[in-house]
């Protein structure tokens, strides 16, 4: 995802561009571009470094979700 265009990714996934935008927004990014920029920063750290960064960001996003959701 960090190296491919949105058109290439949507073609491979048989999805539409807005789906990837909404996907990125669910993880706290403003859109697909900001998600890609964040991913590109970690590419130089190898696959394990990329995975580690992704997991840490996702854990933080889930914590924020818990703080925002009410019992109702």
Whether pLDDT at 2 is above 70 = no
pTM of the model: 0.49
Number of helices followed by number of strands (H, E) in the chain: 4, 0
pLDDT value of position 53? 80
Q: What is the pLDDT of residues 9-65, one digit of tens each?
A: 889 889 898 988 888 888 888 888 887 776 665 555 677 877 788 788 888 888 888
Q: What are the CA-CA distances from residue 9 to residues 2, 17, 19, 49 (Å)?
A: 10, 9, 11, 22
Whether pLDDT at 1 is above 80 = no
**CA gap 59, 57 in Å, rounded:** 5
């Amino acid at each position: 995802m960090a190296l491919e265009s949105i058109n290439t990714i949507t073609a491979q996934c048989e999805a539409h561009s807005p789906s990837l935008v909404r996907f990125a927004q669910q993880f706290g990014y403003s859109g697909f571009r900001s998600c890609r920029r964040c991913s590109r920063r970690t590419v130089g750290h190898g696959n394990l470094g990329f995975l580690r960064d992704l997991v840490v960001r996702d854990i933080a996003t889930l914590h924020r979700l818990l703080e925002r959701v009410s019992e109702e």
